[in-house]
A and B are shown apart, each in its own frame.
Chain A
Amino acid sequence: MLTFTLRRLLIAVPTLLASAIVIFALLQLAPGDPMANVPLTVPPEVKQRMREALGLGEPVHIQFWKWLVQFFWIEPQVLIDNIFGTGFADGKLRVLSWQTRSPVMDIVVQRMPQTLWVVGTSYLVGIIIALPIGIYSAYRQYSVFDQAGTFISMVGYSVPTFFTGVLLIVIFSVNMPRESFFWFPSIYDTTHQVNDWASFGFQVRQMFLPVMVLALYNAAQISRFMRASMLDNLNQDYVRTARAKGLGESIVVMVHVLRNSLIPVVTVIALGVPQVFGGAIITEQVFKVNGLGHLLIGAIEANDLPMVQTLTFIFAVLIVLFNLIADVLYGILDPRIRYD
């Protein structure tokens, strides 16, 4: 297993390098100009000087090399400096955002907690809702519960989050009276700090709408997988054997069938984790949660190439990493699978 992991990690290096090149080339080829948002009242020669100050005049391969060095050599030094208080990176040029002219990684670190809180919670809530629904739907296939579950998950799966998000805002923020317990804020207060129960309560309230929107979507997806996987296993011979041995229904389903059915579901859940880090671009936009998705879409709109490049690359790393984790988990959960 260890050699397998090491081999996969080594293969990941060229994969990631290739994806960095592809991302960079795509961004270079895409039309757009970081000065597009500067008002027309700023004369073209001033805009030209601003572009040069951003380093846009340099040849493409130099720009790419600079980014590689900054990302793989200087940024780790900054990280070490932050942890150990050393001074390796002093005075070295980091990956700078074109919008803010400040280090990209600082902003990423600032945004990460919101994404993990909101999108991460919604993922957890989604899983917690999805698993029982999936199990029960499969166990009582074609029952009223199963039909209703199928309907709801189809709705959750096919209705886009920009619709459910705005719908919930209209119901819970606009039409609900402000004094009501069921009134929830439509705009996430990103300056809010949790330091006592009351502020924790507010945090829960302001996370409620975005988390529900995303949880509906996630739950819909995972519950379908859970149901399908359970159905596959319920008809297996070992289930009949277990029942023939006289085991109770709850043990048959919750121990024998569930454990076997969880294998593909766990893989699906693990593969979905990079999405959590990627943030939910649309939902974060609708509720103005200052997470990574919000950051990415803003950077794309502003043609902030260093920011887009860095963020997309981080997502690429996470996807490669969680693919590996899913494969390893598979081996651990299912003793029949051996990679060596």
Chain B
Amino acid sequence: MNLRSALLGAAALTALAPAAMAERGSDGHVNIIYWQAPSVLNPYMSGGTKDIESSSMILEPLGRFDETGALVPFLAKEIPTVENGGVSEDLTSITWTLKEGLLWSDGSPVTSEDVLFTYEYCTAEEFGCAQGAKFDSVSTVEALDELTVKVTFKAATPNPYLPFMGGQSPIIQKAQFAECLGAAASTCTEANFNPIGTGPFVVDEFKPNDVISMSANPNYRDPAKPAFATVTFKGGGDAASAGRAVLETGEFDYAWNLQLAPEVIAEMEAGGQGKTVVGFGTLVERIEMNLTDPSSDLSADVRSTREAPHPFLSDLNVRKALSMAIDREILVEIGYGEAGRATCNLVPAPALYASPNTDCLTQDLEGAKALLDEAGWVDTNGNGIRDKDGVEMEVLFQTSTNAVRQNFQDAIKAWWEMIGLSVELRNVSGSVFFGGDAGSPDTFQKFYADAEMYANNFDGTDPQAYLAQYRCDNEPQPDNQWQGENINRYCDPEYDALLDELAATGELEKRGEIAIKLNEMLTKESYTIVPLVDRGRVSAHSNTLGGVVLNTWDSELWNVADWYRIKE
């Protein structure tokens, strides 16, 4: 302890001297604040973003995605591809080679055994690995020699960059976690709180749900990095106070994910202590249309299942009219400002997979009305609500409790009422709405409403698994305890056939074409999903913190090793 503080003191002194060259630990201390506090520093234990991002300063994967979504080798020498022979021609295996001379923070060498162990750890029985999806398609992992690992998949996998790629599946040390397999995982508190890693920092002290104290990893592979000797990673509170701490009081250097109203952020930025950074990924705020009947008159086995088609939303023209009535630009303005872009796509990025469709961007209330008239939805009984064959167009529109979403609900309700619908709004606490409790009638999966709004995105840069959510029979239903992902209960054999084609296609250009087509089938051709806003991430850093590159494809702290203090 004394030695360490002496070293820190020395490091702080060297920070004062004008250093000609960057040196590890020469820039002293940096403060990071996340308004959600990390609970555990093992991303396999918890799927929470806060846990994945905080542990990404300590644990590293073989490769990461950079701010453009491109692959960058971290522990690996290079990214294996078909061209360099790392990925087999038939797309069933990928062979990774580790950089030479890598050391864990305790000084022991990193070997292919550790990579193999990471696979065994996550796939062990009774563990409930949070990143299990990364390894689902893997059949075997073999350590070919000290530095080489071969991952073989169950079938041809056009996107082999799932296991050991990105913040969600870093490499853990075999020596440390060997006793923690399966059900024993939760007995390893010490390992889960103080993982030995290869990243730029090591944990000095971890207080769960509160704060992590870290210092520079003495065995980090780049001797000049990280520039900071120590880090305080504070968690908890709310986005507003995190923003205030960086932008107004200057107590912290970096604040993550400031989900705040645009005018609030602008006001804070006027504080002059720091600035915001925005990055766009694949997070899309959308309205999901229920193609099935959520009426409470139906029995629990039939309600909101494909057995009962929706009385009016099963009509394509109705869905289209509802989409046309929405002014997305206004929504962006009231909800997200700089951090949002109007979109018509479910898959807004990367460019290869994004459809050029912009049809929905102009609001057309008259057109929507005409479309409904044409489809036979007119107000026959003079109550101000359109109807047809005795079915009144009464929409129950639900979402999670969140100030921006409630503003959106109000605006959309007004537009839908202008075109002759009756709209009832409902909001459900996020922990219930997104919790998959099969016994609760209020989950987004159960969808006991006509339309609902939330945001979703996909991991990494490949949308295949994301688009495959809309496969027939993958919908939440009583048989699967309402756990499916096809929220709209969309079912189109043509879509499923195209999905199969996508899974068998390796060539990137062709994959892009298919993915764009799939995206359009869900959006502009069927209006099953009505995308609203492509949501960016806003974070803030102080004026003196340099090297921040906001990355929405991986952990935001992916390049924390390159951060430095800007000298005045």
Residues of A bordering B, CB below 8 Å: 31-54, 96-97, 99-103, 106-107, 110, 169, 173-174, 178, 185-187, 189-191, 285-286, 288, 290, 294-295, 298, 301-303
Contacts and interface: CB of A to CB of B under 8 A. Distances in A.
A301 B47 CA distance: 16
Contacts of B244: 169, 174, 186
Contacts of A186: 241, 244-245, 249, 251
B207 to A, nearest CB: 6
Interface in B202-237: 205, 207-211, 213, 232, 234, 236-237
A185 B251 contact: yes
B49 A39 contact: yes
A193 to B, nearest CB: 10
A41 B162 CA distance: 13
A288 B133 contact: no
A38 B189 CA distance: 20
B430 A100 contact: no
A191 B185 contact: no
B563 interface: no
Contacts of A106: 189
Given A32-B435, A99-B46, 20 more contacts: A31-B440, A36-B436, A37-B434, A39-B47, A51-B128, A52-B128, A53-B126, A53-B128, A53-B185, A101-B45, A110-B207, A169-B244, A174-B249, A186-B244, A186-B251, A191-B207, A285-B238, A290-B236, A294-B209, A302-B431
Interface stretch (B96-104, B456-464, B542-550): B456-464
B47 A38 contact: yes
10 closest A-B pairs by CB: A33-B435, A53-B128, A36-B435, A38-B47, A44-B483, A99-B39, A290-B210, A50-B128, A102-B189, A101-B186
What size tier do the contact residues of chain B reach? 35 or more
A66 B131 CA distance: 28
Of A41, A46, A103, most buried by chain B (CB within 10 Å of CB) is A41
Contacts of A169: 241, 244
B176 to A, nearest CB: 16
Given A37-B431, A288-B234, A191 B459 contact: no
A44 B435 contact: no
B452 interface: no
B435 A187 contact: no
Contacts of A37: 36, 48, 431, 434
Of A31, A49, A107, A294, most buried by chain B (CB within 10 Å of CB) is A31
Given A50-B47, A185-B251, A33 B437 contact: yes
Interface in B158-212: 183, 185-186, 189, 192-193, 205, 207-211
B432 interface: yes
A139 B429 CA distance: 51
Contacts of A42: 47, 130-131, 133
Given A36-B432, A303-B431, A288 B47 contact: no
Interface in B466-499: 480-481, 483-485
Contact of B209 (A38, A100, A174, A286): A100
A173 B205 CA distance: 27
B250 interface: yes
Of B211, B238, B457, most buried by chain A (CB within 10 Å of CB) is B211
B153 interface: no
A31 B432 contact: yes
B130 A32 contact: no
Nearest to A102: B189
A191 B205 contact: yes
B245 A187 contact: yes
12 contacts: A32-B431, A36-B433, A38-B47, A44-B483, A101-B192, A110-B207, A173-B251, A187-B33, A187-B234, A189-B232, A191-B211, A298-B236
Contacts of B183: 53
A190 B211 contact: yes
B230 to A, nearest CB: 10
A158 B176 CA distance: 53
Interface string B13-52: 0000000000000000000010011011000011111000
Contacts of A45: 132, 483
A285 B238 CA distance: 8
Nearest to B50: A37
B37 A298 contact: yes
B129 A46 contact: yes
B450 interface: no
Contacts of A187: 33, 234, 237, 241, 245, 251-252
Contacts of B207: 110, 190-191, 290
B389 to A, nearest CB: 36
A100 B249 CA distance: 31
Of A99, A288, A298, A302, most buried by chain B (CB within 10 Å of CB) is A288
A96 B442 CA distance: 28
Given A36-B432, A290-B236, A50 B251 contact: no
Given A190-B211, A301-B431, A32 B133 contact: no
B428 to A, nearest CB: 9
Nearest to B38: A100
Contacts of A191: 205, 207, 211, 213, 232
